[in-house]
Structure 1
Amino acid sequence: MDNALFEATIHNTDGVNGTAYVEGPGALSVETSHPLNDSSGTNPEELFGLALTTCLNATIESLLKARGFQKRSKVSAKVQLRREEDGVGFYFQVYLFAAIEDTEMEQAESIVKSAEKRCPVSKLTQGADTIVISVVPYEH
């Protein structure tokens, strides 16, 4: 941890029904709730989707800038909570949709593939068969 460029300390003492927060003055605090009930609050599915789409899109933007492009990109996710086939336990099935404006699909796929290898959050999930990334046309 001596070479860390950034460090955040996050706490959760309530599980999926309560509050999770980032340590520090004025830092993020979120109400959490189970995704299968009607209570207000966010859940791990939404938080994971936010982390992955934000990081992957920031990496795509970085690659576009490094290549001299001034194009917009966006990444959307559908994160599903599913039960394991044996009925015990759960897992996330994630579908990511990445788009780069005014870019041929082949070039966009190459950039997204590079971004997936470089994105710190994607690095945590590389090789997961429960994450599917598709490159789609950019829509305004």
Structure 2
Amino acid sequence: MENYLFEATVHNEEGVEGTAYVEGEDKLSVTVSSPTSDKPGTNPEELFGLALTTCLNATIRSLLKARGLKNQSRVTAKVQLRREENGVGYYFKVSVFASIEGLELDRADAIVQSADKRCPVAKLTQNASTITLKTVPYNN
């Protein structure tokens, strides 16, 4: 039997025109809509951005704590839906920007790059040609 720390079962039966939800009482349920429509709701682009920024920043904060640092950190992602050059299909172009307050850029970058190798969501996309990660100065 495989050991795990957490498991979620997530359902979507209507694509990007309906509801997606996490199985269980008082769990997340969201209205989904196409990112190209003006209908209310979220979409895969936003959900992916939330998952990646949350996980990567949690990993950065864990590494800071392990080093005895209490610096604030921030991760921002710009997720674009783009059409394949051949006109058939789509892909995500993701630009991720991470920053750590009060650290020199090279030291902050070392922590960010280490977090990128440890973050479970980032591991799913490692070596993806459509994702870039850049460490930037922390601005309030």
TM-score bin, normalised by smaller chain: over 0.9
Q: Which residue of 1 aligns with 2:77?
A: 77
Q: Which residue of 2 aligns with 1:26?
A: 26
Unaligned runs of 5+ in 1: none
Partner SS, residue 45 of structure 1: helix
Runs of 4 or more above 6 Å deviation: none
Q: Which residue of 1 aligns with 2:101?
A: 101
RMSD over equivalenced CA pairs, Å: 0.7
Partner SS, residue 4 of structure 2: coil
In the alignment, the residues of structure 1 paired with residue 13 and residue 35 of structure 2 have an alpha-carbon distance, to the nearest angstrom, of 18
Q: Which residue of 2 aligns with 1:9?
A: 9
Shift of 1:93: 0.1
Q: Is 2:66 the partner of 1:66?
A: yes
Q: Which residue of 2 aligns with 1:55?
A: 55
Identity of aligned residues (%): 66
Unaligned runs of 5+ in 2: none
What letter is aligned with 2:127? G
In the alignment, the residues of structure 1 paired with residue 14 and residue 48 of structure 2 have an alpha-carbon distance, to the nearest angstrom, of 18
What letter is aligned with 1:121? V
TM-score, with length taken from structure 2: 0.99
Shift of 1:2: 2.6
Aligned residues: 140
TM-score, with length taken from structure 1: 0.99
What letter is aligned with 2:112? V
